[in-house]
Amino acid sequence: MSIITTRDGTEIYYKDWGSGQPIIFSHGWPLNADSWESQMIFLASKGYRVIAHDRRGHGRSSQPWDGNEMNTYADDLAELIETLDLKNAVLFGFSTGGGEVARYIGRHGTKRVAKAGLISAVPPLMLKTDVNPGGLPREVFDGIREGSLADRSQLYKDIASGPFYGYNRPGAKPSQGVIDAFWMQGMMAGHKSAYDCIKAFSETDFTKDLKKFDIPTLVLHGDDDQIVPIGAAGLASAKLIAEAKLVIYPGAPHGLADTHKEQLNADLLAFLRS
């Protein structure tokens, strides 16, 4: 397997396909690099080098007790980019991965980055606060934590078969294959790592990070996202990023990289070529 070892000894798995301008994909919770495969195989076939890593504690990477928070996630991404000596790269982050991309730019800048994309992403802040009234109440995330401790296998099945892909909407046609893939990826994550990541994706404020973006950025979100509501996420991020291009998918759920993969692939390619 392709692995780098970070400064604290954590092994980060990554896949690296094709050749050309490098594109790095950061995945959502509690998934891993496999969640990006539809986009990776498409863009690699169009002449790009596509790279996706399993975040620490997830997938095939090692499961350290510590470091399951955004600063370390971003630093791990920086070590991957520096180890592979990637330049003129494009960063795409889905959901929690969008937070990872934002914090990477906030901490490490854009010297090696040409463009970025936030897809169904958690920035600027998911948690409802006095200054972020459009966020979700803490009770929502406490419920996810409780479900994780009680029976995380069932929690992942419930999320995948319901709100994540919009399969709980009238007329939806659930794919058992997609549900099974979500569950399998979730169960590959370390229990402690996935539990800690709930706090990381829900409570981290990326406002200052987004204001440091100085590259063309795609902000793409479904307006029926039941996991990361568009109002406090995509719409708010697009206002904070100076060079943001906002694309809204009417009726699309959170997991649009699967439910709308052909449309997303075409939009990502158009953004890369723009």
Assess whether 95 carries a catalytic annotation: yes
In the predicted model, is pLDDT for residue 137 greater than 90?
yes
What is the pLDDT at residue 122?
Answer: 98
Catalytic entry in 61, 254, 258, 260: 254
Cis before 30 (ω within 30): yes
> pLDDT at position 21, please?
98
The yes-or-no answer on residue 61 being catalytic is: no
CA dihedral angle for residue 181, residue 185, residue 191, residue 196, rounded to 10 degrees = -110
pTM of the predicted protein model: 0.97
Which residues sit opposite 245 in a β-bridge? 218
Domain residues for 38? 3-273
Of 85, 75, 84, 81, residue with least CA distance to 107 = 75
Residue 152: per-residue pLDDT: 98
- Active-site hit among 34, 225, 258, 267: 225
- The pLDDT value given to residue 113: 98
Q: 90-126, pLDDT tens digit by residue?
A: 999 999 999 999 999 999 999 999 999 999 999 999 9
Picking from 112, 85, 89, the residue whose alpha carbon sits closest to that of residue 43 is 89
Rounded to the nearest 5°, which phi and psi values hold at 218? -95, 125
Round the average pLDDT of the chain to a whole number and report it. 98
Report whether pLDDT(31) > 90: yes
* pLDDT of the residue at 53: 98
Q: How confident is the model at residue 1 (pLDDT cuts 50, 70, 90)?
A: confident
Continuous segment of H or E residues that includes residue 160: helix 138-161
Q: What is the mean pLDDT of residues 5-16?
A: 98
- The tens digit of pLDDT for each residue in 45-88 reads 999 999 999 999 999 999 999 999 999 999 999 999 999 999 99
Q: Read off the pLDDT of residues 189-236 as tens digits, 9 standing for 90 and up.
A: 999 999 999 999 999 999 999 999 999 999 999 999 999 999 999 999
Give the chain's domain count.
1
Identify the CA nearest to 96 among candidates 188, 199, 220, 7: 199
Above 90 in pLDDT, residue 243? no
Query: Would residue 254 show up in a list of annotated catalytic residues for this protein?
Result: yes
CATH of the domain at 198: 3.40.50.1820
Query: Which member of 26, 35, 95, 202 is catalytic?
Result: 95
